[in-house]
Amino acid sequence: MKKMKIATLAATAMMLAAVFTGCANKAGTSGNSASGDTITIGGNFELSGAAAAYGSAMQRGVKLAVTKINKDGGVKVGDKKMKLKLVTKDNKSDNASAASIATNLTTQTKASAVIGPITSGAGLAALPNMTKAKVPLITPGGTQDSLTLQKNGKVQPYMFRSCFEDSFQGKALAKYVYNTMKLKNVAILGDKSTDYAQGLIKAFKGEYKGKIVTTEYYQAGDKDFNTLLTKLKSKNYDAIFVPGYYSEAGLIIRQAREMGIDKPIVGADGFADPKLVSIAGKSNASNIYYTTHFDAKAPANNKVADYLKLYKDTYGDDAGTFDALSYDAVYMIKQAIETEKSTNSVKIAEGLAKLKNFQGVTGTITMDKYHNPQKPVIVTKLMDGSEAEATAVK
């Protein structure tokens, strides 16, 4: 009897599955197109939860771009001008809701393109649903290398980013340390527990021409680095490379400076948060270098000044990294629609992949074949807790 029941259940489940896949296929053959005079763009934003700071910056940037584009007349599709409509949803910094919102935005809202989520993890979770619906996703902050790649090494057709990837900035940093700072010996103090830091270490080691004196590891959430720093003290090195996030990097800077280590400390975009300085202490945050996507001090082109002004006028605050990347993401979609002369999501994805010499506020972007933007990396230098200078590294 029991066996019978299970068999019936299995059969029902299979039938249901067949019905569902049927639906998905039907929706997926063509992708989404605009209906009427408006093109719908979805926003899968982290508006609450752990990544809320990034998510709300993303929302500000996207909103600003959409308003600006509509004010300037809209998007030119063939010989018709169409307005953009933004539909945003809060994924609560949760991977599961990022995935369900991806489905919602593509099947219910019928968005032609979606911006966000901003973190790599949530991006990976949302991607299968985006691919199923054949709608491109642009993440402004997902820097993980593997994000745009399938398991077999081929590119994910519907995943794009407006930021550069981890290995790109790791390499740029290695070049900067060796060529510009002229430092020949580096000690690495890296986060063992995140893919982000692992990717950076690998890229840095591959590119750096000097000597890596030692590589030590810590875990995200660690608070005590005295032991590792005491160990470094006796070694001969010119700079410390800290691949990791600001919460630990701030503590490393603080404890190193308190211990009397005044060598340069370099890092990647994980440093780019005002909290870095507040945790490290103003006087300790000197001689710190990190790569970043956008810096008002090193404008990529003449669009930056306008952007900074527009942002300040709208929000009364200074523009940051992630709003600028999100702003660019919207314009990338606009560019793709205009070159393809279509609002169809499959076409937009094709257009995004072909993006070349696109003038964004974060630099001139050309998409490589893995959907990673090729653009200059900015290195920012901190002295006494504030930005002293910023340079673009090619």
Partner 1 sequence: MQILQQLINGLSLGSIYALLALGYTMVYGIIKLINFAHGDVYMLGAFWGYYMINTFHVGFWTALILSMIFCAIIGVIVEFLAYRPLRDSPRIVVLITAIGVSFLLENGMSYLFSSSPRDFPQAMVMHRYHLGSLSISNVQVLILVTSIVLMILLQLIIKRTRMGKAMRAVSVDPEAAQLIGINVDHTISFTFALGSALAGAAGVMIGLYYNSIDPLMGMTPGIKAFVAAVLGGIGLIPGAALGGFVIGLVETAVQAMGFSAFRDAAVYGILIVILIIRPAGILGKTTREKV
Query: Which residues in this chain contact partner 1 in the complex, by CB under 8 A?
Result: 49-50, 52-53, 192, 214, 216-219, 221-224, 226-228, 230-231, 233-234, 247, 250-251, 254, 258-260, 275, 278-279, 281
Using the minimum distance from each CB to partner 1, give the nearer residue, 233 or 312: 233
In terms of CB distance, is 233 or 356 closer to partner 1? 233
Smallest separation, CB 50 to partner 1 (Å) = 5
In the complex, what is the shortest distance from the CB of residue 135 to partner 1, in angstroms, rounded to a whole number? 30
Distance of closest approach, residue 104 Cβ to partner 1, in angstroms: 23
Nearer to partner 1, 218 or 307 (CB): 218
Q: What does the alpha-carbon distance between residue 261 and residue 251 come to, in Å, rounded to a whole number?
A: 13
* Shortest reach from residue 178's CB to partner 1, in Å: 25
Other CB atoms within a 10 A radius of the CB of residue 315 amount to 13
CB of 294 to partner 1, least distance (A): 20
Count of residues in the chain: 394
Nearest to 163 by CA among 90, 248, 63, 272: 272
CB of 67 vs partner 1, minimal distance in Å: 28
Strands (E), the chain: 38-45, 75-77, 80-90, 113-115, 137-139, 159-161, 185-191, 211-218, 239-241, 265-267, 288-292, 358-360, 363-367, 373-374, 377-383, 386-393
Q: Which is nearer to partner 1, 25 or 386 (CB)?
A: 386
What is the Cα–Cα distance from 61 to 90, expressed in whole angstroms? Answer: 16
Specify the residue, 260 or 316, whose C-beta has the smaller distance to partner 1: 260
Structure tokens at 317: 């605050």
Whole-number Å distance between alpha carbons of 288 and 246: 12
Least distance to partner 1 from the beta carbon of 233, Å?
A: 8
Measured from the CB atom, the residue of 248 and 328 that comes closer to partner 1 is: 248
How far CA 347 is from CA of 73, 103, 134, 157, 351, in Å, comes to 22, 19, 10, 11, 6
8/227 with CB nearer partner 1: 227
Instruction: State the nearest-atom distance from the C-beta of 297 to partner 1, in Å.
Output: 24
Cβ closer to partner 1: 285 or 367?
A: 285
**Residue 68 or residue 275: which is nearer to partner 1 going by CB?**
275
Sequence-distant (6+) residues with CB within 8 A of 326 are 57, 58, 59, 60, 61, 62, 65, 115, 116, 118, 140, 162
User: Helix 52-71 and helix 303-315: axis angle, to 10°?
Assistant: 110
Furthest CA-CA distance within the chain: 78
Report in angstroms the alpha-carbon separations of 261 from 234, 237, 281. Answer: 11, 11, 15
Give residues with Cβ within 8 angstroms of 315, minimum separation 6: 60, 64
Structure tokens at 108: 């219910």
Contact present, 178 and 186 (Cβ < 8 Å): no
**Cβ-based nearer residue to partner 1, 152 or 234:** 234
Task: Supply the minimum distance, in Å, between the C-beta of residue 82 and partner 1.
Answer: 38
DSSP state of 155: B
* CA-based radius of gyration for the chain: 23
We find the least distance from the C-beta atom of residue 241 to partner 1, in angstroms, to be: 15
